[in-house]
Amino acid sequence: MHDSPDPGDRRDAVCVVGAGASGLTAVKNLLELGFQVDCYERETAVGGAWNWRHDRSPVYAGTHLISSRPLTEFPDFPMPDSWPDYPHHSQVLTYLERYSAHFGLGEHIWFGTEVVSAAPTGDGGWEVTTRSTGGGSSRTSRYAAVVVANGHNWDPRRPTIPGEFRGRLMHSSAYKDPAVLRGRKVLVIGGGNTGCDIAVEAAQQAGQVWHSTRRGYWYAPKYVLGRPADQVNGRLLRLRLPLRLRQWLYRRTVRLTTGDLTRFGLPAPDHQPYESHPIVNSQLPYYLGHGRITPVPDVTAFDDASVELADGRRIEPDLVITATGYRPRFEFLAPELLAADEHGRPDLHLHVFARQHPTLAVIGLLQPDSGVFPLAHWQSVAVARWLRLRLDDPARAAAVQQQESAKPLAAWSKRRVVKTDRHWFEVDHLDYLRSLESLLNEMEPAA
Amino acid sequence: MTGFDLLRLKDWTDPVPPAGREVASRLPEDDEGRPPVLFVPGLGHGAWAFAEHWLPHTAGRGFPAHVLGPRPGGDLRAQVHDVVQTAASLPRRAVLVGHGVGAHVVARALARYPARAAVLVAPVLDGWAAAGSALLANPGGTLPALFGGRLRVSARQLFGSGLPAERAAEYLERIAPRPRAELLRRAVPPRPVGAPPVLVVGSPDDRVVSRKALDRAAAAYSGAPLLFPGMGHDLMLEDSWAEPIDAILDWLRKQV
Ligand SMILES: Cc1cc2nc3c(=O)[nH]c(=O)nc-3n(C[C@H](O)[C@H](O)[C@H](O)COP(=O)(O)OP(=O)(O)OC[C@H]3O[C@@H](n4cnc5c(N)ncnc54)[C@H](O)[C@@H]3O)c2cc1C
Ligand SMILES: NC(=O)c1ccc[n+]([C@@H]2O[C@H](COP(=O)([O-])OP(=O)(O)OC[C@H]3O[C@@H](n4cnc5c(N)ncnc54)[C@H](OP(=O)(O)O)[C@@H]3O)[C@@H](O)[C@H]2O)c1
């Protein structure tokens, strides 16, 4: 910093917001291409969501990965092969801490520092204002680019249910320990992976459990044919089987293994396999079959001690957990910078690049049918190479930008998915990686 | 050099099964923050080949030094997997040093792990050429192997004239090469990730890897080989073993 005229001017340096998995890989890949990097992290340690001590972490004591190890690890830093197929969240944190230490990322991260605003300066640069988390004086620095990796699983999407509820009501983000379930009568709302995990933990701990879902889903087991389900699915993709055939195989496999879940009172899925974000849970059907979980439809109202259901039934839980997911939130950026819609959902090229601001990018803002880390890695490689190309060869960079924006809608974004809020950034990891690969190849120096 | 490697369907659907790995380490007295060096032995050579001289010498010069024994029966893919697993288990970005076929393994591992730097010692990147040289230098020991029989190597193939005969015999005793057919091709090294500096080291008098093969290997990384005339293929076991490793470590100090 000493050679720049203004102590707040970081010239060609890049600012990274957040030191979760996405921020860490962004820092690593930017450093690798020779950038100076300042990463700001509001917590006092790395790991983001996987550091369950963090006040905004959505992870609970019993969380294990749903994507298996080979599909979850960074492509250039494998998890130990002696680890289980589906590591525990504490192992994922250890892995991220080791990644950070191995590549010496810590010295580039300012912990306990929150980014409160980032605004374009008009000449392609950025003015970033930071503050100690929870208060204190603020400080503004100039950067050449901003890479946002603030995560999207921390701002609860709370359902609006009419009426007052007398019992305890909490969103799954506040759920940490199954002890709160012990002996209670619990209603879990939401059929995402969180809702299903909590319903299972409640089946093991609570006195009575209702699980409310507003549609039928495909519940994938963690193992199929003796292998992790995503690895088996990968084999089908490797054989390049068409979607229709894969859907048929999926239905067959489910019929032969898990069986017909409508028998337990669940609604039949209102969509085909692969048309919603995968739910991976082997234990939910098990506890349904044991009568430990009672499936119920959508909740329509609260009425003092009771809860009214869409089929007119009333139940009386004493604890309601809404596992209704999370919303993206970028409180430090004006919505138009990311072309965000009225729900705050950004419209970005490849879910990464701000269309009007070539020096603004977001990492990890997508939901794949695989682990997130490999995608966040290649996004970061693409961003680092893009920023490098802009500096080294502005003419080529402009040509690449034109080429990219002229491309027809890519397969990954044409996917048929259930029309629901949470699917706006659902991607097929193979199609998505192919699009990134094509961008990376376009940015290669001409041979 | 090939481009990016995003779609790893093989690794995602059919991961290399874990195996116990033999790693021998020598650490410097004081940790001065230097990157760890991971040695990868070549065909038929165990961890001992580096443990003999280079491992302690490297630690003596301040670099944490490790050597990975090859997994029994492991194919190239499994060996690459083991190198990357071992490198990633070290506390800092590692320097990979491979010898012979071990250098081929390192060249591939470089596409899977952003090494701090890499050194390819007498690299066997071109299996056909190496087989050809072996046929010339030791037809009786090599020919049966091309038809699935046992491969026998001779002292003349691996060592220069400086190594006392009884030591050469003792080493030969411990060298049991079991080449796999997959080595018999000319490999184009994949592009390393993280753009590490790569040094090729060898001897013009190596009877396994020709001078031309050394030049070609170095050119693949836009460099020229560092040569130690008079030495045989097994530079780390020769009487003059200190010269190449000192040169390698001098180079390394300049890089990191
Ligand atoms: C229960 C659960 C289970 C999951 N299981 C899997 C799984 O099996 N496999 C998988 O791949 N993914 C899984 N995920 C998805 C998970 O979100 C990603 O794996 C990963 O954590 C995303 O990392 P990230 O860095 O993008 O976001 P985060 O981990 O949320 O990190 C964002 C970081 O940015 C910091 N930050 C935010 N705003 C600011 C600011 N203004 N200034 C400074 N710092 C800021 C935060 O403190 C945080 O450290 C799961 C998610 C949940 C909720
Ligand atoms: N073990 C794990 O690894 C693990 C565990 C938990 C979460 N995760 C990941 O974390 C992310 C978030 O998962 P999540 O389960 O917390 O959220 P989610 O995937 O967004 O699921 C939310 C669920 O709540 C339902 N819902 C939303 N709003 C509702 C409303 N107003 N009324 C009734 N139901 C409503 C949704 O139904 P619709 O189908 O109608 O949208 C959906 O079933 C996902 O990527 C998930 O894969 C992983």
Ligand with smallest separation from the Cα of A325: 2
**B18 with A81: Cβ contact below 8 A:** yes
CB of A173 sitting under 6 A from ligand 1: no
Domain boundaries, chain A: 10-155+326-442, 168-322
pLDDT at residue B133, as a whole number? 87
Report the CATH number at residue B210. Answer: 3.40.50.1820
pLDDT at residue A5, as a whole number? 46
pLDDT at residue A7, as a whole number? 61
- In the predicted structure, residue A271 carries a pLDDT above the cut 50: yes
pTM of the model: 0.97
Same-fold call for A10-155+326-442 versus A168-322: yes
Express each pLDDT in A391-400 by its tens digit: 999 999 999 9
B160 touches B231 (CB < 8 A): yes
**pLDDT range class, residue A3, cuts 50, 70, 90:** very low
* From A70, A378, A436, residue closest to B12, measured CB to CB: A70
d(CA A400, CA A402) in angstroms, rounded, equals 5
Q: Which residue of A has its CA nearest to B91?
A: A102
Average pLDDT, chain A: 94
pLDDT at residue B183, as a whole number? 85
Cβ–Cβ contact B84 with A under 8 A: yes
Q: How many residue pairs from chains A and B have C-beta atoms closer than 8 A? A: 77
Express each pLDDT in A329-372 by its tens digit: 999 999 999 999 999 999 999 999 999 999 999 999 999 999 99
CATH class of A168-322: alpha beta
Cβ–Cβ contact A368 with B under 8 A: no
Percentage of chain A modeled with pLDDT above 70? 98
- In the predicted structure, residue A314 carries a pLDDT above the cut 90: yes
d(CA A245, CA B89) in angstroms, rounded, equals 41
Reduced DSSP (H G I as helix, E B as strand, rest coil) percent helix, strand, coil of chain A, to 5 = 35, 25, 45
- In the predicted structure, residue A1 carries a pLDDT above the cut 90: no
A116 C-alpha to center of ligand 2: Å? Answer: 28
Express each pLDDT in A84-106 by its tens digit: 999 999 999 999 999 999 999 99
pLDDT at residue B172, as a whole number? 93
Cβ–Cβ contact A225 with B under 8 A: no
CB of A323 sitting under 6 A from ligand 2: yes
- Kindly indicate whether the domain formed by A10-155+326-442 is annotated with CATH number 3.50.50.60: yes
* From A69, A101, A444, residue closest to B91, measured CB to CB: A101
**A238 with B5: Cβ contact below 8 A:** no
**B88 with A231: Cβ contact below 8 A:** no
DSSP B121: E
Q: Is position B176 within any domain? A: no
> Which residue range(s) make up the domain with B95?
3-127+186-255
Q: Report the domain count for chain B.
A: 1
Q: Is position B24 within any domain? A: yes
Q: Is position B211 within any domain? A: yes
Question: Once rounded to an integer, what is the mean pLDDT over residues A289-302?
Answer: 97
d(CA B236, CA B220) in angstroms, rounded, equals 24
Q: Which residue of B has its CA nearest to A375?
A: B6
Ligand 1, atom 35, lies closest to the CA of: A18
A21 C-alpha to center of ligand 2: Å? Answer: 20
Nearest to A211 by CA among A200, A220, A221, A219: A200
CB of A65 sitting under 6 A from ligand 1: yes
Provide the shortest C-alpha distance from residue B192 to chain A (in Å). 11
Express each pLDDT in B187-199 by its tens digit: 789 999 999 999 9
A133 C-alpha to center of ligand 2: Å? Answer: 28
Length of chain A: 447
- In the predicted structure, residue A229 carries a pLDDT above the cut 60: yes
Q: Dihedral (C-alpha) A399, A404, A408, A411: value to the nearest 10 degrees?
A: 150
Q: Is position B139 within any domain? A: no
A17 touches A118 (CB < 8 A): yes
Provide the shortest C-alpha distance from residue B23 to chain A (in Å). 15
A290 C-alpha to center of ligand 2: Å? Answer: 24
Question: Once rounded to an integer, what is the mean pLDDT over residues A178-195?
Answer: 98
Burial-class residue A368 by CB neighbours within 10 Å (0-12, 13-18, 19+).
Answer: buried
**A103 with B5: Cβ contact below 8 A:** no
Positions of chain B with pLDDT under 70: 1-2
A54 C-alpha to center of ligand 2: Å? Answer: 20
Question: Once rounded to an integer, what is the mean pLDDT over residues A51-63?
Answer: 94
Q: In terms of pLDDT, which residue wins out, A133 or A409? A: A133
Helix (H, G, I), strand (E, B) or coil at A64: strand
Q: Is position B134 within any domain? A: no
| Site to substitute for ligand 2 among A86, A172, A214, A321, most atoms within 8 A of C-beta | A214
Ligand 2 closest atom vs CA A418: 39
pLDDT at residue B148, as a whole number? 80
* From B12, B90, B114, residue closest to A32, measured CB to CB: B114
- In the predicted structure, residue A172 carries a pLDDT above the cut 50: yes
Reduced DSSP (H G I as helix, E B as strand, rest coil) percent helix, strand, coil of chain B, to 5 = 40, 10, 50
